[in-house]
Amino acid sequence: MSSAHTKPAQRPVRPHFSSGPCAKRPGWTPDVLSAALLGRSHRSGPGKERLKEVIDRTRSLLGIPDDYRIGIVPASDTGAVEMAMWSLLGARGVDMLAWESFGSGWITDVAKQLKLDDVRQIKAEYGELPDLSQVDPERDVVFTWNGTTSGVRVPNGDWIADDREGLTICDGTSAVFAMSLPWEKLDVTTWSWQKVLGGEGAHGMIVLSPRAVERLTTYTPPWPLPKIFRLTKGGALIEGVFKGETINTPSMLCVEDALDTLKWSESIGGAQTLAARSEANLAAVAAWVEKTPWIDFLPNDVETRSCTSICLSLTDASGLDEEVRAGVPKKMSTLLDEEGIAFDINGYRDAPPGLRIWGGSTVETRDIEALLPWLDWAFEAVRATLHNA
Ligand SMILES: Cc1ncc(COP(=O)(O)O)c(C=O)c1O
């Protein structure tokens, strides 16, 4: 372990470990945007073609079935999740799963804004996954595939019944492209561009199964739907949305950037390679945690440890009492930010104090490996100031 006075020799080439917006893909420069369709209508022929190209490349990269609709929608992942909940919920009871801040936010939407009557909240504390066997296949279910703020993911979709009657609405934003998703188990899946592929913030992606489309076209919710949530007109699906005719104006700069990251993903070998890159990042962190007594994963179960938002907590072996310990991750992340070693690795504001290191597919494992000795260094440096205080 490096002493507080000896800085590690290696530095991460790219100090970008934020959990969103996430690191751009290796080799990215602003030049990739030079062919963006700027100053033109997104409804022009070339405009629609580019939007459609995002949809087509996304489908082929992720292996999304041909009979699923893929749309580019307003307001990032939140826009996509809320569009789904406002358009689909209320037809039957809903099970809301939450084990960290974003899942809890969706519960607030459903309980306090939509004010649905038949809502079951199935929750767990940070670091844990709720009991997935409680989910009732006759009811709708809303859940996050990867809880970004606790670093806990569902290990698979085995808990989702194939013959379910309810719909599964999955906030997949910090999972899609880094984890393999069972599309046949998911009726609605959402994400944004600025997560695993390191794209730009603004737009959301929504994927609808045929059953989700059926609900959309046979059920009219009792509340008003703003235009930016509307996927149907006169009881029929607005098919254009799923061919690149966006509901309102997208940023063609963001679209160009999304296309660049999709093409890069194809060039390195597709979804499997993306997932393998992220898993390698988790493995590198896990090997270091294994030999480092002062730190542990926030998720308790190995199976549920996220390979994207890797959340870590200080342990009793840090030799610091709980109150003092709580302030250490923030101090460490400030120090590493000042050193230009790691940006934005303090845990999420609502999560227990800890570090959160993004290990998504655009992050190079050698950068994670270069970061780890610096975490030792920063811990020792912060601890020394505490002992001197
Ligand atoms: C699981 C999850 N859901 C929703 C969001 C909100 O996403 P956006 O800012 O793209 O709306 C985030 C952002 O980090 C997230 O991690």
pLDDT in tens, 170-187: 999 999 999 999 999 999
The per-residue pLDDT of the chain, averaged, comes to 97
- Say which DSSP state 172 is in: -
d(CA 188, CA 276): 25
pLDDT (average), residues 318-328: 94
pLDDT (average), residues 315-337: 96
Q: What is this structure's pTM?
A: 0.97
CA of 267 to the centre of ligand 1 (A): 27
Asked if 99 and 123 touch (Cβ cutoff 8 Å), the reply is: yes
Q: Which atom of ligand 1 is nearest to the CA of 174?
A: 16
Whether the CB of 102 sits within 6 Å of ligand 1: yes
pLDDT for residue 342: 98
- Say which DSSP state 36 is in: -
- Reported as a pLDDT band with limits 50, 70 and 90, residue 46 is very high
Whether the CB of 149 sits within 6 Å of ligand 1: no
pLDDT (average), residues 76-93: 98
Residue nearest to atom 13 of ligand 1 (CA): 20
pLDDT in tens, 246-294: 999 999 999 999 999 999 999 999 999 999 999 999 999 999 999 999 9
d(CA 134, CA 129): 12
Whether the CB of 20 sits within 6 Å of ligand 1: yes
pLDDT for residue 360: 98
pLDDT for residue 114: 98
Task: Give the torsion through C-alpha atoms of 68, 74, 79, 80, to 10 deg.
Answer: 10
CA distances from 182 to 32, 37, 179, 189, 365 (A): 32, 34, 10, 11, 26
d(CA 183, CA 209): 8
pLDDT for residue 202: 97
Whether the CB of 78 sits within 6 Å of ligand 1: yes
Closest Cα to residue 64, out of 168, 187, 160, 174?
187
* DSSP per-residue string spanning 135-153: --TTSEEEEESEETTTTEE
CA of 176 to the centre of ligand 1 (A): 12
Residue with tokens 């840090």: 318
- Say which DSSP state 167 is in: P
pLDDT (average), residues 297-311: 97
- Reported as a pLDDT band with limits 50, 70 and 90, residue 387 is confident
Whether the CB of 306 sits within 6 Å of ligand 1: no
Closest Cα to residue 353, out of 161, 206, 149, 57?
149
Q: Is 251 left (phi over 0), alpha (psi -120 to 50) or beta?
A: beta
pLDDT for residue 109: 98
pLDDT (average), residues 234-244: 97
pLDDT for residue 388: 59
- Reported as a pLDDT band with limits 50, 70 and 90, residue 389 is low
CA distances from 259 to 83, 198, 208, 317 (A): 24, 11, 21, 46
Q: Which atom of ligand 1 is nearest to the CA of 204?
A: 10
pLDDT > 90 fraction of the chain, expressed in percent and rounded? 97
- Reported as a pLDDT band with limits 50, 70 and 90, residue 2 is very low
Whether the CB of 76 sits within 6 Å of ligand 1: yes
pLDDT in tens, 368-381: 999 999 999 999 99
pLDDT for residue 1: 46
Q: Which atom of ligand 1 is nearest to the CA of 149?
A: 16
CA distances from 324 to 235, 293, 296 (A): 58, 17, 17
